[in-house]
Structures are given as C-alpha cells and as structure tokens.
Structure 1
Amino acid sequence: MAASTTSDISYDDLRAVLDKRPNVLVVDVRTKEEVDEGRIPGSLHIPVNTVEEAFTMDAEAFKSKYGVSKPALDSSDLIFHCQMGKRGSMATSKAVELGYVKARNYAGGYKEWSQKAGQ
C-alpha cells in the first residue's frame, strides 16, 4: 500500500486555475475566527475537523448545507487550504482517502495568498 502523499499547488498555479476554471472548489479548512479575518475570494469554509463528514455526504445534502455542488471523485477542481499548509495537507490527505484522488493542497495557505494578493 502506497503512502498517502498530497499533491500541492503553488500560488501562481492556483491564480491561473481560478482565472480559467470557474467551477474550482477552494475549501478553506481554517477556524471560523481565522476566516472572519480574511479569505480567498469564492472559497468555501469547511473546518478541517469536519472535512470527512462533509465529503461523505450525499450530493444533495452537500449542496443543501454548503450551497455548491459536491465535486466528483475524479475532479481535479478540488483544492484545500489553511493558514500555512499543515491543516490543508491533512484535509487533502483525508479527501484522497475518501476517493478524491486528484485533490490538491495550496501549501502557501492564506498567509501567502494575503501577502501576494495584497489583501
């Protein structure tokens, strides 16, 4: 059995993906208090401790709770992030375990985003 490793995405690649593909789901796994301080525009808040629960919901329940469509298991448009990378990596690993094999982690997190995007 292969070790679970996460696939990371860089700031520049994330910007490019967000500009080109409107259906990308960026999941912010930080705490509500952190999200209240600032967020990546369009990101969806699902705290890291609820990622498994969220991504095991059926599609209808997911859409009802979060207001967006649940991504397909083979979607490459699922990206997790936190403040600096660790929780995002944990969430990405959990998603991969659940079958989202193309899920990625924005390792720079909101810290890098806020510095580079000038927010």
Structure 2
Amino acid sequence: MLAENSLSLDQIREIEKTGTFNKLKVTLLDVRTSEEVKGGRIEKAVNVPVGELEQDLALAPDLFKKKYGFNLPTHDSKTEALLVYCKSGMRTRRAIDILSKREYKNNLYAYFGGWDEYSNPNTN
C-alpha cells in the first residue's frame, strides 16, 4: 500500500463530515468482529470481519449486498473509494493485502490508527 493511501485521524473526521475524500465517495469498512463493532464504530462504517472478507469478495455483487447491506466499490471505480480500519491496525493490514490481491489500489485507503485512536477521548 502506498504511504499516501494511509489516512490520519483528521482526514477520517473530514470524511465523516463530507462522505468524500479526493472527490471520491468513501465507504468506511470496519474489519473488526461484529462483537467488537457492537461496542462502537466510526459513524456510517459498515462491517465485514476480516476473517470473512476474502471469501465474501468472491460473492456475486447482489449476494454480497444481501449479506452486508451495501455495495462494495469496485477496484477500478473512479467515483468511489474504500477506506479500511480495525481496532489498532493489524487487521487493517491483512484486509489491505486481501483487497490488493483483488486489484484494489488507487481507490483503497487505510486508517491504521483504528478504533483505538478514533475512540480515545484524548484525540477528540
């Protein structure tokens, strides 16, 4: 993953306000477990646990949407981006590797600070 595709907390906050980054509509992908997400998540984030990601990327788009309730941006989209985060960055790296193998590149971003940084009252 390119260094410029790693976003900061300030950039995440801006995405929350606007829903966009670099003029792309952003889908926030939380790759923690569904149990972890029950404890809080970035507003408007959708959950696909990293343990299910690789398998579920092989689903037809309509089956993926039926399971998760949203359409995953395509790897070559010029209008939509995918931003991945987890608790502290480890699963984000794994998810980025999985998505990169599916040819996501120019519209794939990571927030390595994760839920730990985002939810820390000292960073708000």
> 1:14 — aligned with what?
12
Q: 1:20 Cα deviation (Å)?
A: 2.3
| Residue 110 of structure 2, aligned match among 99, 105, 109 | 105
> 1:114 — aligned with what?
119
Partner SS state of residue 83, structure 2: strand
CA RMSD of aligned residues (A): 1.8
Instruction: Show structure 2 runs of 5+ residues with no match.
Output: none
CA distance in 1, matches of 2:102, 2:71: 17
Q: Does the CA contact (< 8 Å) of 2:16 and 2:43 recur in 1?
A: no
CA distance in 2, matches of 1:48, 1:32: 10
Q: Deviations over 1:15-49 (max 9, x none)?
A: 22232236421111112221111111111111111
In the TM superposition, what are the counterparts of 1:79-98 in structure 2 within 5 Å? 79-98=83-102
Q: TM-score, normalised by structure 1?
A: 0.83
| Residue 44 of structure 2, aligned match among 10, 25, 42 | 42
> Aligned pairs, how many?
113
Instruction: Show structure 1 runs of 5+ residues with no match.
Output: none
Q: 1:74 Cα deviation (Å)?
A: 2.2
Q: Does the CA contact (< 8 Å) of 1:56 and 1:98 recur in 2?
A: no
